[in-house]
Structure 1
Amino acid sequence: MLAAPIPDNDAERLAALRELLILDTPPEQRYDKVVQFAAEEFDMPIALLSLIDENRQWFKANVGLDVCETARDISFCGHAILQSDIFVIPDARADARFADNPIVTGEPYVIFYAGAPLRMPSGFTIGTLCIIDHKPRTLDATELAILGTLRDLLLEELNGSSEAAHA
């Protein structure tokens, strides 16, 4: 398993995340609806709004998992926040970065992963909208566009929250 590298600007990225005042807050219907739609639209057993802090990925919205966070060093989202576009792993068992990851080899058996980075206007990526399956999959261009649109809806909500928090 290869943990995602920590970006040089991670302190600034974490400050941007904390400015949202969203970590460890109760579920909110506006986020839950988008994540639920993603799970249904792509027929995925798991969909998440995942926020990445120093040591964990915390799930602001969660479909299909019984946990609210996992360690950052085993997260796929830790890799996805380093990408400029949607990060897709068709079969994690065949990818050297993830093949021996405990969330691939055991519960929740993450085999397929697609994560759309949540890049704020500040330029910092705070997390992902991700969809997960227990079997290999791919996404076509239309599906990638839909996932990108759903990510953009979440970003609008997050940006609105940020502005409200600073008003």
Structure 2
Amino acid sequence: MRIDTKRLSALHDLRILGTAPEADYDALTRDLAQCFDVPIGMVNLLDAERDWFKSCMGLPFDESPANTSFCEVFFSSHEDVIVVEDTTQDQRFSAHPLVLGAPHVRFYAATRLVVEGHTVGTLCVYDIGAKTVTPAQVERLQDLGHLAMALLQRRQSSVAATTATA
């Protein structure tokens, strides 16, 4: 993964990494996982070292090494939404360690989360079985992604206001 200092600065300026779970993010994650009928959903934020999960459903941990992040694909793409119905058939993911090994991810759908013009993470879902998606599911992914970005923007405004008064 290439290091983008402006992207990392935008992420770190949010002062969100390592914070406690929040009901609003958890609701987005849960809603998206239910919409796609999948066991794993998350709001993840990618810094230089780790893929940290602000909200996570279906996994027993809250971060993973940055080099195992699926969301890294957004750094080399102009797409706002990526849906991979079968990761074993997609060259971007077919050799990924989480596809070849446990948990054997077969399905991935995500939308980028942008702060100050930089992709800082994704709202995403995973499954261990391949899936076909509907246009309504993709639209819901986009809608929930916009809500996640609104939460991040609200946090950014709150941090800026706190910093200005300090």
- When normalised by structure 1's length, the TM-score is 0.89
Unaligned runs of 5+ in 1: none
Partner of 1:95: 90
Unaligned runs of 5+ in 2: 162-166
Question: What's the CA shift for 1:156?
Answer: 0.7
Secondary structure of the structure 1 residue equivalent to 2:9: helix
Matched ranges for 1:31-50 at <5 A: 31-50=25-44
Question: What's the CA shift for 1:48?
Answer: 0.6
Partner of 2:121: 127
- Contact persistence 1:16–1:124 (CA under 8 A): yes
| 1:150 matched to 2:147 | no
Matched ranges for 1:63-142 at <5 A: 63-83=57-77, 84-120=79-115, 122-142=116-136
Matched ranges for 1:16-31 at <5 A: 16-31=10-25
Residue deviations 1:20-44 (CA, integer Å, cap 9, x gap)? 0000111111111110111112111
- When normalised by structure 2's length, the TM-score is 0.90
Question: What's the CA shift for 1:89?
Answer: 1.5
- Contact persistence 1:81–1:127 (CA under 8 A): no
4+ aligned runs moved over 6 Å, structure 1: none
RMSD: 1.4
- Contact persistence 2:81–2:110 (CA under 8 A): yes
- Contact persistence 1:46–1:63 (CA under 8 A): yes
Partner of 1:15: 9
Question: What's the CA shift for 1:139?
Answer: 2.2
Aligned length in residues:
160
Question: What's the CA shift for 1:104?
Answer: 1.1
Identity %: 36
Partner of 2:164: none
